[in-house]
A and B are shown apart, each in its own frame.
Chain A
Amino acid sequence: MNFGLGEANELAHAMLARIGRDHGIRTLSIKGLVADRYGLRRPRVAADADVIVDPARFDEFCRLLHDYGWHLRVEREVPSLLGPHSVTLIRDDWPNDIDAHVRFPGFFADDQTVFERLWSTRSTMEVAHCEVTVPSRAASAVIAALHAVRYTKSVRHAGELERVAELLIDDFSDAEREEFLDVACVGRAQWVLRELFDLVGRPHEMDATPRQMQLWETNRATVEDGAAVSWLSTLRSAPLHRKPAVLARAVWISREEIPRNDVNRLPTVREAWAHRMLRWRRGGVALWHYARWRR
Chain B
Amino acid sequence: MRIGDDVAWTADESRVVALDLTQPGASPLVLESTSAVVWEEIAIRGPIEVDELLELLAQAFDVRADDIRRDVDSLLAELRSRRLLAG
Residues of B with C-beta under 8 A to A94: 28
Question: Are A68's CB and B19's CB within 8 A?
Answer: no
* Number of A-B residue pairs at CB separation under 8 A: 46
Asked if A209 CB lies within 8 Å of chain B CBs, one says no
Any B CB within 8 A of the CB of A275: no
Give every chain A residue within 8 A of B32 (Cβ-Cβ).
1
Chain A residues in 8 Å Cβ range of B3: 129
Residues of A within 8 A of B9 (CB): 11, 128-129
- B25–A15 contact, CB under 8 A? no
Decide: A3 near B28, CB < 8 A? Known: A129-B7, A129-B8, A129-B9: yes
The docked-state distance in angstroms from the alpha carbon of A223 to that of B26 is 37
Query: Within the complex, what minimum Cβ distance (angstroms) separates A235 from chain B?
Result: 42
* Contact for A11 among B6, B17, B24, B25, CB less than 8 A: B17
Q: How many residues of A contact B (CB 8 A)?
A: 20
A2 touches B30 (CB 8 A): yes
What 0/1 pattern do residues 188 to 210 of A give for CB contact below 8 A with B? 00000000000000000000000
CA distance A171 to B25 in the complex (A): 43
B38 within 8 A of A: no
Among B8, B24, B30, point to the contact of A69 (Cβ < 8 A): B24
Q: Does A258 contact B (CB under 8 A)?
A: no
Contact B24 A68 (CB under 8 A): yes
- Of B21, B25, B30, which is within 8 A of A130 by CB? B21
Expressed in whole angstroms, the minimum distance between the Cβ of B42 and any Cβ of chain A is: 12
- Chain B residues with Cβ under 8 A from A69's Cβ? 24-25
A15 to B22, CA, bound (A): 9
Bound-complex Cα distance A37 to B65 (A): 41
CB distance from B60 to the nearest CB of A (A): 22
A14 at the interface (CB under 8 A from B): yes
- From residue B5, how far is it (CB to closest CB) to chain A in Å? 10
